[in-house]
Amino acid sequence: MNYKEIKFSRLVLLLTVTVTVTVTVTVTVTVIISFPVISSPPIITVSKKQFGDKWIFKREEVMLECRANGALLVINPSTLMQYLLNSIGAEQMKKSEIIASPLSTILHKPADLSEQKIDITRILKTAQNLFKN
């Protein structure tokens, strides 16, 4: 018998065991084990080169992650530390569901002190687009 099964939401393991007993009886047992595949959350790398003068981070490159529960995070690729990008992530941090730090930790301080607020709109939109993909 040939078994062919393709599933994208589950990983299927097919195991066939043949046992021969000295009484000349052959028993073949086929066991199919199926379990869900854990997919990783969408992650993209963004850089200062992409954003130019609108770059808001101290690092030249960061990763943006979109969790299935709606949390948006910025990840420092060298330390793998996570930083909150939206309020959903902040709520989960308060509940100890994720470990993260405030975004202000990795934001580039403006040279002109009159610019007290840093606009994160472009980074936020880029991260939100991960949900669509």
> Both tokens of residue 42?
């969408």
Output the pLDDT for position 2. 47
pLDDT digits (tens, 9 = 90+) for 17-35: 555 556 566 667 676 666 5
Residue 97 neighbours by CB distance under 10 Å? 13
| 3-7, 43-47, 104-108, 111-115: segment of lowest average pLDDT | 3-7
Tell me the pTM. Answer: 0.63
